[in-house]
Amino acid sequence: MKWTLEEAKQQLPSIINATSLEPQLIYTQEELVAAIVDPELFKEFLNWRQKTAKTSLAQVFKELQQLCTEENYSLEIPARSNRDNPFTEDQDESSL
């Protein structure tokens, strides 16, 4: 549910109880300033953040490569081709 900061101050017990149903979002004007969530959801988030914080891009690509190998998947890479470049075209015309 969406709450204003003033409503949140007055209805804090209700907001805390409602977190079991869905995250409770608190706004000042149209800007989100806080979210109150169920403790279990927050624990899941912390576990996810801890797990992903230790993962480098190289590790992610290694996992992807392993999955592709296991699934017998190969990435088709198209042949390289040149494309129009407006920056070089202007230079070519001015040198004529």
- The pLDDT of residue 60 is 87
In the chain (96 residues long), the average pLDDT of successive 10-residue segments reads 88 92 93 94 92 83 92 87 80 56
Six token digits for residue 94: 């001015």
E strands in 1-96:
2-4, 24-28, 31-36
Burial 54-83 (b: 16+ CB within 10 A, else e): eeeeeeeeeeeeeeeeeeeeeeeeeeeeee
Q: For residue 41, give the nearest of 19, 60, 59 by alpha carbon.
A: 19
- The pLDDT of residue 28 is 92
- The pLDDT of residue 25 is 95
Six token digits for residue 76: 């088709």
